[in-house]
Amino acid sequence: QVQLVQSGAEVKKPGASVKVSCKASGDTFSNFDINWVRQAPGQGLESMGWMNPNSGNAASAQKFLGRVTMTRNTSIRTVYMELSGLRSEDTAVYYCARMDYGDNGGGKWFDPWGQGTLVTVSS
């Protein structure tokens, strides 16, 4: 049973960068993509991008191109998401989630999710 544990809350100033970690335990780490999803206060869910911990290949959503960087350290089963050029509207809870795909039948889904990391951007 895989679990994802994220780093703690951060407070950053506008223009700064933040790096959030997501550590996997309990199951095979490299076989599944890790996705990043954020949720602004009182708002819905927004996909930011994903990476494959095995290959290191990553892709970000159009909105975050050039601002988000995803990396990993396979020796400690951890994936990182760094967001640069922070602005107030980046204040949100950031979640990592494993992208599962089952045995067959197609389709992918996010399960499980990390507990979330609150990033506050304020001057």
Interface positions with another protein (CB under 8 A): 35, 37, 44-47, 59, 61-62, 95, 97, 102, 105-116
Cβ proximity to another protein, 71 vs 113, nearer residue = 113
In whole angstroms, give the CA distance from residue 21 to residue 114.
10
Cβ proximity to another protein, 59 vs 76, nearer residue = 59
Helix (H, G, I), strand (E, B) or coil at 89: helix
Cβ proximity to another protein, 37 vs 79, nearer residue = 37
Minimum distance of another protein from residue 45's CB (angstroms): 4
Copy the structure tokens of residue 70: 């995803």
In whole angstroms, give the CA distance from residue 101 to residue 98.
10
